């Protein structure tokens, strides 16, 4: 079985930065998208993001929530940490944190809810049994680890 927390190493580039030399806010979500693609490829054992041969990759974003906690300043390495928060019928909710490379600093956190859709009708459809089983196992493992060592929480307002 895979580690319940998927760690995706990334790095900012000059063209990711805004005029204040910090990571431009929509870029955070771009890195989450790239991390999710890599995670799906790993868990589904797909050689590349190929939804024609791996229909569980044919999904749409149903909702997205992000809280920006600290800015990423300049060109630097960081990681995107993903875990399964929920998997049911046609829904797959992924939690994420964008952290310093050593995971000591959390720059942003949130969740992304995906919906599996049919390749032809584009209507919600069930995940394959292998997808459902693998991510159910990953969710249980993540829940167990989070009970022992919780992730940093959102800021109190």
Q: How far is CA 126 from the centre of its chain?
A: 20
Backbone dihedral angles phi then psi of residue 56, each to the nearest 5 degrees: -65, -15
Backbone dihedral angles phi then psi of residue 100, each to the nearest 5 degrees: -60, 160
Cα–Cα distance measured from residue 79 to residue 8, given in angstroms and rounded to the nearest whole number: 5
Q: What is the CATH number of the domain that holds 111?
A: 3.10.129.10
CB-based contact 91:115 (threshold 8 Å): yes
pLDDT given for residue 48 in this prediction: 87
Q: How far is CA 36 from the centre of its chain?
A: 5
The three-state secondary structure class of 44 is: coil
pLDDT given for residue 157 in this prediction: 47
The residue ranges of DSSP E strands in the chain, in sequence order, are: 6-11, 59-68, 77-88, 91-100, 106-116
CB-based contact 12:74 (threshold 8 Å): yes
pLDDT given for residue 146 in this prediction: 87
Q: Which domain holds residue 41?
A: 6-148
Sequence-distant (6+) residues with CB within 8 A of 146 are none
Instruction: Decide if 1 is inside a domain.
Output: no
Query: How many domains in the chain?
Result: 1
pLDDT given for residue 131 in this prediction: 96
Instruction: Decide if 107 is inside a domain.
Output: yes
Instruction: Decide if 157 is inside a domain.
Output: no
0.75 exceeded by pTM: yes
Instruction: Decide if 156 is inside a domain.
Output: no
Q: pLDDT 10s per residue in the chain (157 long)?
A: 679 999 999 999 999 999 999 999 999 999 999 999 999 999 999 988 888 889 999 999 999 999 999 999 999 999 999 999 999 999 999 999 999 999 999 999 999 999 999 999 999 999 999 999 999 999 999 999 888 877 766 555 4
The three-state secondary structure class of 3 is: coil
């Amino acid at each position: 079985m895979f580690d319940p927390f998927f760690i995706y190493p990334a790095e900012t580039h000059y063209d990711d930065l805004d005029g204040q030399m910090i990571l431009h806010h929509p870029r955070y979500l771009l890195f989450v998208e790239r991390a999710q693609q890599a995670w799906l490829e790993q868990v589904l054992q797909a050689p590349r993001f190929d939804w024609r041969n791996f229909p569980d990759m044919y999904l749409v974003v149903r909702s997205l929530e992000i809280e920006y906690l600290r800015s990423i300043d300049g060109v630097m390495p960081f990681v995107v940490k993903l875990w399964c928060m929920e998997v049911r019928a046609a829904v797959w909710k992924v939690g994420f944190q964008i952290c310093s490379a050593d995971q000591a600093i959390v720059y942003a956190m949130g969740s992304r809810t995906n919906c599996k859709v049919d390749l032809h009708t584009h209507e919600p459809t069930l995940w394959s049994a292998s997808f459902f089983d693998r991510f159910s196992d990953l969710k249980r493992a993540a829940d167990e680890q989070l009970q022992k060592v919780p992730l940093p929480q959102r800021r109190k307002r």
